[in-house]
Structure 1
Amino acid sequence: MIFTSDNAFGVAPEILEALGRVNGGGAASYGEDEITKGLQNRFSDVFERDVAVFPVATGTAANSLALATLTPPYGAILCHEVAHVNVDECGAPEMFSGGAKLIGIGGSGGKINSDALVTRLESLGQKGVHQVQPRCLTITQSNEAGGIYSLEELRRLTGIARDFDLKVHMDGARFANALVSLGCSPAEMTWKLGVDVLSFGATKNGAMAAEAVVFFDPALVGDFEFRRKRAGHLFSKMRFLSVQLEAYLKNDLWLKNARHANAAAKRMADGLKAIEGIELVSEVAANEVFAMKTMKTLVALTMLSTLGLSGAAYAAGDAKTACRADYEKLCKDTQPGGGRIMKCLKANEDQLSQPCKDAMAGAEEKMMEKKEQGGMGEGQ
């Protein structure tokens, strides 16, 4: 069972089928094929306006190239302090922009605090050539802490950006998950609120390796295509990226997958709430679950991680769980009457450390007590 990340799971069958289909015969290279060209109209339909869309293979490329297009080397990009662009992209935004500075803003639940943003912006750029100039605000939706900005929260942040003459970028690695949670249209969550450029994610929601940079104002594209080429993301066989996005949008597969993942996360959260020693850090808003564990519970989950329950013990503090289809196995085994986990541990007892063996022995003792008291049935 794998619960580490939505990156760890497989590819949607519909997308795999599309990749196989496009593999027959040949097609024009470097994005001149009909599938890639057709994405312009398809994305324009989805977002209810003319857009310019450019496929790339990774979220880091999408974010970094988009931000570099919006921000000069002497510019500042404001983001949440734990934003993926700030802590998980190895300096790629800074490199591709030629030196732009990322400035982290605090806020609970992974959301940028609007008052803190205003305060920081008021102090930036006041020293002229001696200081970086604020040029862009980037917002993650849904965000790195599993939270989702409401439309009003987005409107507030984009309004501040406009007041300070900033462009707005949205990191939409989990865009579909946020969209179905809010129940709004793609347009209502982006350009209608003032978002200029979107990193449209698909890999975390069923694609093999496909993201897209979407410009809501084609005039902002500027030198983006040159930047994409220099970054190595102008694929010669671009149709293999583009067909993933085509299949992703077809018959609303992207929305169906997101609804399923969100529902799975909610069900897993409900199961975790019932386990003594586990407390949810926040309510589940999309497809991520964050939980705090007591040390005793952490020992047990770490033990399970070594036996194939990948992601059970993500870290000593928080546990991050991105749900997938096999979440049902965990939920079933954590309900009264579930005994498969204990049987797995017993079968691999020789691999366990002494603290883990002690924890398991204590659990067995409690199970026997409940059984003697009539609280458990046979085979548990």
Structure 2
Amino acid sequence: MFFASDNGLGASDRIMAAIAAANDGSACLAYGRDDGTARVERLLSDLFEREVGVFMVTTGTAANGLALSTLTPPWGIVLCHDESHVMEDECCGPEFFTGGAKLVGIRGPGAKITPEALEATIASLGRRVPHNAPIHALSLTQSTELGLVYSVAEVTALSAIAKANGAGVHMDGARFANAVAALGCSPAEITWKAGVDVLSFGTTKNGALACEAIVYFDPARGAEMVRRRMRAGHLLSKHRFLAAQMEAFLADDHWLDLARHANAMAARLAEGLATVPGVRLPIQPQANGLFPIMPDAMVEALKAEGAVFYPWSDKGLADADKARKGETMMRLVTSFATRGQDVERFVAVARGAASAASAA
């Protein structure tokens, strides 16, 4: 019953087979000059319905930080949600890669930024030259840290506000596949057609071994990434192993099949927990993460049966929805490899704990 993260359950068989095939001993030019990388660049251009600039790296932290470094100078501001990964989980990586740009967090329910909150934050920031830092970028997390998905209309509205204020738009798509699967839209519709300039296209959380792509919807905007990536130490000499992962990920919509399974397992888990007395679901999952509020005794019973999951902050909830005394909000994340029997067992153990509490 592993629900700690979608990073923890290995890689898909197809992707592992592709990595093995790339290791067949044949000679291959290094540093991204291999045929596989060229094929991936064409595949991503086809996927996004336009020519794109593609730069593959091994981690989402590198993808986010490097992408933002091309949108803002060291003296700029990056707007993001105050619970976003770039703000809370990357150990000042964006500040490091940008050379010191300031992250300004914006609060919003479900870890989503609203147009009203974005406009209010922009209005609150000083414009005195040279004393105040200028806004250069907006970073959106898709899907969010609380399992919600920005709609096409929401991304379009937020991008329009950012661009009206001279800011570029970055999308942290560590779970981009889960969002696209949930929305049922095309990748183009939720990115450049909605105003996104650069996407961190994640694969690692969705069945790859270690591969993320920085995707520029105007290749000229990412021209300097050729050297930025090398300078940062994130250009692999054996780049073909990244390309092999991405090519297998994209082939035959494998990436969407993996994400649909993860999303379906989350929906099934939420449906089951909704019937368990004492469990509250203040946020209905839209992707592959859910955040139930559970009695502490139930949490301990689940852990005793081998369930692995984490407590989570409820600061993004309305006050009426927050955890009460004797309760904790937990994070449960499903993946491409989550098994239905583990979902059913988790719900059964939770129900048993609820029955034991009522009988006590």
Do they superpose with TM above 0.5? yes
Equivalences for 1:145-184 in 2 at 5 Å?
A: 145-184=146-185
| Alignment deviations for residues 65-117 of structure 1 (CA, whole Å, 9 cap, x no partner) | 00011110000000001010000000000011010000001111111021121
Deviates more, 1:236-245 or 1:218-227: 218-227
Q: Tell me which amino acid in the other structure corresponds to 1:267.
A: R
User: Hey, what's the Cα distance between the residues in 2 that align with 1:332 and 1:41?
Assistant: 41
User: Hey, what's the Cα distance between the residues in 1 that align with 2:84 and 2:225?
Assistant: 23
Q: Tell me which amino acid in the other structure corresponds to 2:81.
A: H
Q: Tell me which amino acid in the other structure corresponds to 2:115.
A: S
Aligned position for 1:227: 228
Aligned position for 1:354: none
User: Hey, what's the Cα distance between the residues in 1 that align with 2:251 and 2:229?
Assistant: 26
Contact 1:161 1:167 in 2 (8 A): yes
User: Hey, what's the Cα distance between the residues in 1 that align with 2:357 and 2:102?
Assistant: 55
Q: Shift of residue 366 of structure 1? A: 4.8
User: Hey, what's the Cα distance between the residues in 2 that align with 1:231 and 1:251?
Assistant: 33
Identity %: 46
1:314–1:155: structure 2 CA closer, same or farther, 3 Å change rule? closer
User: Hey, what's the Cα distance between the residues in 1 that align with 2:118 and 2:358?
Assistant: 54
User: Is residue 2:330 matched to residue 1:319?
Assistant: yes
Aligned position for 2:316: none
Contact 2:301 2:350 in 1 (8 A): no
Contact 1:69 1:222 in 2 (8 A): no
Aligned position for 1:332: 344
Aligned position for 1:22: 22
Deviates more, 1:74-83 or 1:121-130: 121-130
Query: Greater CA radius of gyration, 1 or 2?
Result: 1
1:13–1:73: structure 2 CA closer, same or farther, 3 Å change rule? same
Aligned position for 2:52: 51
Aligned position for 2:99: 98
Q: Shift of residue 365 of structure 1? A: 9.8
Aligned with 1:198: secondary structure?
strand
Structure 1 gap segments, 5+ residues each: 343-358, 368-380
| Alignment deviations for residues 208-267 of structure 1 (CA, whole Å, 9 cap, x no partner) | 000000000011014212211122110000000111000000011001111111111100
Deviates more, 1:266-275 or 1:54-63: 266-275
Q: Shift of residue 363 of structure 1? A: 2.6
Choose which of 308, 311, 317 in structure 2 pairs with 1:310.
Answer: 308
Aligned with 1:74: secondary structure?
coil
Q: Tell me which amino acid in the other structure corresponds to 2:334.
A: C
Aligned position for 1:12: 12
What is the number of residues matched between the two proteins? Answer: 345
1:217–1:328: structure 2 CA closer, same or farther, 3 Å change rule? same
Aligned position for 1:135: 136
User: Hey, what's the Cα distance between the residues in 2 that align with 1:208 and 1:173?
Assistant: 13
Aligned position for 2:280: 279
Aligned with 1:208: secondary structure?
coil
User: Hey, what's the Cα distance between the residues in 2 that align with 1:252 and 1:7?
Assistant: 20
**What TM-score, normalized by structure 1, do the two folds share?**
0.86
Aligned with 2:135: secondary structure?
strand
Q: Tell me which amino acid in the other structure corresponds to 1:30.
A: Y
User: Hey, what's the Cα distance between the residues in 1 that align with 2:358 and 2:145?
Assistant: 40
User: Hey, what's the Cα distance between the residues in 2 that align with 1:364 and 1:113?
Assistant: 40
Aligned position for 1:214: 215
User: Hey, what's the Cα distance between the residues in 1 that align with 2:229 and 2:126?
Assistant: 29
Q: Shift of residue 142 of structure 1? A: 0.8
1:36–1:294: structure 2 CA closer, same or farther, 3 Å change rule? same
Q: Shift of residue 341 of structure 1? A: 10
User: Hey, what's the Cα distance between the residues in 2 that align with 1:69 and 1:317?
Assistant: 40
User: Hey, what's the Cα distance between the residues in 1 that align with 2:92 and 2:264?
Assistant: 34
User: Hey, what's the Cα distance between the residues in 1 that align with 2:91 and 2:83?
Assistant: 13
User: Hey, what's the Cα distance between the residues in 2 that align with 1:201 and 1:180?
Assistant: 14
Greater RCO, 1 or 2 (C-alpha within 8 Å, sep 6+) = 2
Aligned with 2:190: secondary structure?
coil
Aligned position for 1:378: none
User: Hey, what's the Cα distance between the residues in 1 that align with 2:263 and 2:65?
Assistant: 27
Q: Shift of residue 332 of structure 1? A: 2.9
User: Hey, what's the Cα distance between the residues in 2 that align with 1:186 and 1:278?
Assistant: 35
Aligned position for 2:65: 64
1:46–1:339: structure 2 CA closer, same or farther, 3 Å change rule? closer
**What TM-score, normalized by structure 2, do the two folds share?**
0.91
1:294–1:340: structure 2 CA closer, same or farther, 3 Å change rule? closer
User: Hey, what's the Cα distance between the residues in 1 that align with 2:303 and 2:149?
Assistant: 29
1:314–1:84: structure 2 CA closer, same or farther, 3 Å change rule? closer
